[in-house]
């Protein structure tokens, strides 16, 4: 009987320790969930803000924007290459006409 009561007291102490640990972990879990909600809200706000900034960029004329889109840059490079080609053709035509004279 004495042995069982000692074992019961030890187990009761262990149960109390585990219960306290469980309470601490539940509180920590609740804090982390609150922090996660805050971070998710901030992420949603930043995504919304970046979307509105991108939409605003399309409304602003190209000359006033600070950055170009890939499509715009590709178009500008193609135009530049066409102008270079045309310049070289005209230079060649001038050379031929000078040679003929």
33 and 81: one domain? no
For all residues of the chain together, what is the average pLDDT?
88
Q: In this structure, what DSSP letter does residue 1 have? A: -
Cβ-contact 70, 62 below 8 angstroms = no
Mean of the pLDDT values across residues 37-56? 81
60 and 25: one domain? yes
4 and 44: one domain? yes
Question: For the chain, how many structural domains are there in total?
Answer: 2
What is the residue range of 34's domain?
A: 1-67
The token duo for 9 is 């007291």
DSSP string over 23-86? HHHHHHHHHHHHHHHHHHHHHHHHHHHHHHHHHHHHHS-GGG-S---HHHHHHHHHHHHHHHHH
54 and 81: one domain? no
pLDDT in tens, 3-36: 999 999 999 999 999 999 999 999 999 999 999 9
47 and 63: one domain? yes
32 and 9: one domain? yes
């Amino acid at each position: 009987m004495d042995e069982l009561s000692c074992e019961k007291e030890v187990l009761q102490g262990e149960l109390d320790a585990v219960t306290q640990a469980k309470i601490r972990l539940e509180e920590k879990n609740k804090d982390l969930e609150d922090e996660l909600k805050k971070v998710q809200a901030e992420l949603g706000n930043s995504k919304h803000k970046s979307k509105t900034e991108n939409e605003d960029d399309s409304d602003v004329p190209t000359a006033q924007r600070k950055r170009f889109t890939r499509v715009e840059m590709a178009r500008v490079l193609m135009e530049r290459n066409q102008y270079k080609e045309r310049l070289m053709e005209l230079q060649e035509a001038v050379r031929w006409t000078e040679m003929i004279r």
